[in-house]
Amino acid sequence: MEEKRNVPKLRFPGFTDSWEQRRLGELMDITSVKRVHQDDWSSEGIRFLRARDLVAFSNGEEIDEPLFISEELYEEYSSLSGKAVENDLLVTGVGTIGVPWRVPSSEPIYFKDGNIIWFKNMNVIDGLFFYYSFTSSSIQDFIRKSAGSGTVGTFTIDTGKKTPIQLPSIDEQAQIGGFFQRLDSLIALHQRELDHVKELKKGLLQKMFPKEGTNVPELRFPGFTDPWEQRRLGEVAHRVTRKNEEGMSDLPLTISAQHGLVDQRDFF
């Protein structure tokens, strides 16, 4: 009987070996850091990250008011717990749990103990592959199930050690991690283009409709010069209150507070 192989459905050419399943606690140290109290926060120094900051990074958002701690405190506490380095992984343990952030360089950072779980990768796993593995449905499902059914779920150091991960060769890891990084860069590029078009639309809506107190817009298509006419909606339309008992309408319509009149087939 042929043994079932642990391989993905889609692979880069040249890779045929089975993947190996391990638990992260077998591969690396998983821990946190010495606690920093709120009185130790400052407006400059070494960047201090909270779980909400990792969530913001994941959503591509800027941090309005970043926090810092002094270099002296950083050196003192890091001498006890170590320093996060490039390709280590920080993962939210509270709030929106299981959100990963790959440490991009060895520039000094510190973070909130307990709220963030620290995976000291030490390049045991390709950094990008490690990050994207944590965003996969298999690991995210494990985190959700391990969090329990309570109203406030947590991702703990102990759960982090038990987290399973599928590992190919380091070369295949690098191929996969680099591929998804390029995809993310492409998505970010198109997102910026989309944001630009949305701002363009917003500006045109302001200019292509008359401002209050005027009857012509600031910007018009060529050939149109007549003033616009102001009317009340009740003069040009009437509200439909009847039920569709006789089948006069074939569209299953509904009212949405956010979107107005919508086709139920598209909305639900």
- Per the listing, tokens 């401002």 go with 211
User: Does some domain include residue 77?
Assistant: yes
The whole-angstrom separation of Cα 33 and Cα 35 is: 6
The whole-angstrom separation of Cα 93 and Cα 51 is: 7
Q: What is the pLDDT of residue 1?
A: 34
Task: Find the domain containing 132 and state its range.
Answer: 20-171
Residue pair 217/209 in contact by the 8 Å Cβ criterion: yes
User: Does some domain include residue 218?
Assistant: no
> How many angstroms separate the Cα of 83 from the Cα of each of 40, 74, 118?
18, 9, 10
- Choose between 253 and 204: higher pLDDT: 204
Give residue-wise pLDDT tens across range 148-182: 766 678 999 999 999 999 999 999 999 999 999 99
Confidence of residue 254 (pLDDT cuts 50, 70, 90): confident
Q: CA geometry: angle at 38 spanning 154 and 41, to 5°?
A: 115
Half-sphere exposure of 202 (CA within 13 A, CB side): 6
Confidence of residue 268 (pLDDT cuts 50, 70, 90): low
Give residue-wise pLDDT tens across range 86-108: 999 999 999 999 999 999 999 99
User: Does some domain include residue 166?
Assistant: yes
User: Does some domain include residue 193?
Assistant: no
Give residue-wise pLDDT tens across range 13-47: 999 999 999 999 999 999 999 999 999 999 999 99
Half-sphere exposure of 188 (CA within 13 A, CB side): 11
Q: In this prediction, what percent of the chain has a pLDDT beyond 70?
A: 88
Question: CA dihedral defined by 201, 205, 208, 211, rounded to 10 degrees?
Answer: -150
φ, ψ for residue 25 (rounded to 5)? Answer: -65, -15
Tokens of 98: 């299981």
CATH number at residue 109: 3.90.220.20
User: Does some domain include residue 100?
Assistant: yes
Single pTM value for the model: 0.80
Give residue-wise pLDDT tens across range 50-88: 999 999 999 989 898 999 999 999 999 999 999 999 999
Q: How many domains does the chain have?
A: 1
User: Does some domain include residue 260?
Assistant: no
Give residue-wise pLDDT tens across range 196-211: 999 999 999 999 999 9
User: Does some domain include residue 97?
Assistant: yes
User: Does some domain include residue 192?
Assistant: no
DSSP E strand stretches across the chain: 20-23, 29-31, 46-49, 67-69, 89-92, 100-102, 109-111, 116-120, 164-167, 253-256, 260-263
Selection from 145, 135, 129, 119 nearest residue 24 by Cα = 119
Give residue-wise pLDDT tens across range 199-250: 999 999 999 999 999 999 999 999 999 999 999 998 998 877 767 666 666 6
Q: What is the mean pLDDT of residues 119-124?
A: 94
